[in-house]
Structure 1
Amino acid sequence: MPPVFSHGDLRLYLLALLDESPRHGYDLMQALTDRTGGTYSPSAGTIYPRLAKLEEDGLVTKTVDGRKTVYEITDAGREHLEARRGDLDGIQAGLADTVRLIADEVRGSVRAAMKSLQADLAAARDDAGRSASTRPPEPESPRASSRAQVQRADAAVDGFRSDLRADLRTHVARGGSLEESVVDDLVAALDAARSEVQRALRG
């Protein structure tokens, strides 16, 4: 994957974040992680030298607030930022594209999982139909078989729910974007799968 920030872009983006409000170093690192959809998590060794250079150039100042050092943009920093507004717009557009690509990947994964679940349910229904037509009836066998299939369905649903929740929570915890349309697709696919099962149960 190519670097999220090319040479000099990170310095400019730090100024833009400080133009929004004064921040301490950890807050800047967290903001960068959030706004890149988790694709970029800078270290203190990356951020603080650039902040020191911005301070040396008179573009930011720092004050100590308890145990934290807070950085604030100067008037010279705002002038520098305004002079490079076109470059900053390009950086922000690139970050938006990155987050959009991540959201598309999540949406595609959810759709693929839904299709796989629907295919598994259809296959299970077909298997049950074939088994019913080829096996001779036995006393109490249908009830025992149904109980086994209920347990199998419970395990499949629980496993799917657990895996999907883990995928979504991990993605969001890393700062990824989860669009409403992704959840809408998930709800629609689950409703469709439930309807398919209900039709199969009605025979």
Structure 2
Amino acid sequence: MTPAVFSHGDLRLYLLNLLDESPRHGYDLMQALADRTGGTYTPSAGTIYPRLSKLEEEGLVTKTVDGRKTVYEITDAGRAEVASRRGDLDGIEAHLSDSVRLIAEEVRGSVRDAMKSLRADLAAAKADQRSHTPRSFVTEPDDRADSREQVRRLDVVVNEFRAQVRADARTHVARGGELAATVVDEVERALDEAARELTRALRR
């Protein structure tokens, strides 16, 4: 999710809504936004503080300095605006939920595509092995050498898959994305199934 998830004026209203729940300092507001969006949107200080200053100018919030922290608190006028725009806030909440869900679906789709590719590679390796010279015309040492080569090929396939999935997941999270437990559970189930398919193929 990018900052565009908040259309014009939405972030301002959402900040007011968070302050209506309780007084907060700037970092707390940034963390709350990250939490409410499942980690898919983490605003910068350059995004939050100018909006807080504008809200203060409009008389909707006040600020007090508490040690090193500046705490923002909603005013009666700010509460009145939140109350009058409850419908808009419900729409923002629904949009945020849809955005988080869509990102999770994209991650699951990427995992499914990677698993399909892995299964295709395993099937191709199996078909390639079957297309070789019949076993009755191949000496045992050559047969073992071919099997060892296929094991090495399988290592490459699995390692490439592992590296790609780790890179995609880390990049996604580093950009503020969410990696839900359900996605990891799905990967685990898919890998278990792929392992079972390989075991069945080896026993034939």
1:67 aligns with 2:68: yes
Q: After TM superposition, give the deviation of residue 79 of structure 1 in Å.
A: 2.5
Structure 1 pair 27–131 and aligned structure 2 pair: CA distance change class (3 A): farther
Q: After TM superposition, give the deviation of residue 193 of structure 1 in Å.
A: 0.9
Tell me the residue number matched to 1:113: 114
Aligned Cα RMSD in Å? 2.6
String of CA shifts for 1:138-190, please: whole Å, max 9, x gaps.
35112222222222212221221222123223323433233444333322221
String of CA shifts for 1:52-86, please: whole Å, max 9, x gaps.
12112222121223333222223332222112111
Q: After TM superposition, give the deviation of residue 132 of structure 1 in Å.
A: 4.3
The gaps in structure 1 that reach 5 residues or longer are none
4+ runs of 1 displaced by more than 6 Å? none
Q: How far apart, CA to CA, are the structure 1 residues paired with 2:136 and 2:66?
A: 78
| Superposed counterparts of 1:1-203, under 5 Å | 3-36=4-37, 40-133=41-134, 136-138=137-139, 140-203=141-204
TM-score, scaled to structure 1: 0.85
Q: Which amino acid aligns with 1:8?
A: G
1:38–1:174 contact (8 Å) kept in structure 2: no
Number of residue pairs the alignment of both structures matches: 203
TM-score, scaled to structure 2: 0.85
Percent identity between the two aligned chains = 69
The gaps in structure 2 that reach 5 residues or longer are none
Q: How far apart, CA to CA, are the structure 1 residues paired with 2:148 and 2:171?
A: 34
Q: Identify the range of structure 1 (4-13 vs 41-50) with the bigger mean alpha-carbon deviation.
A: 41-50
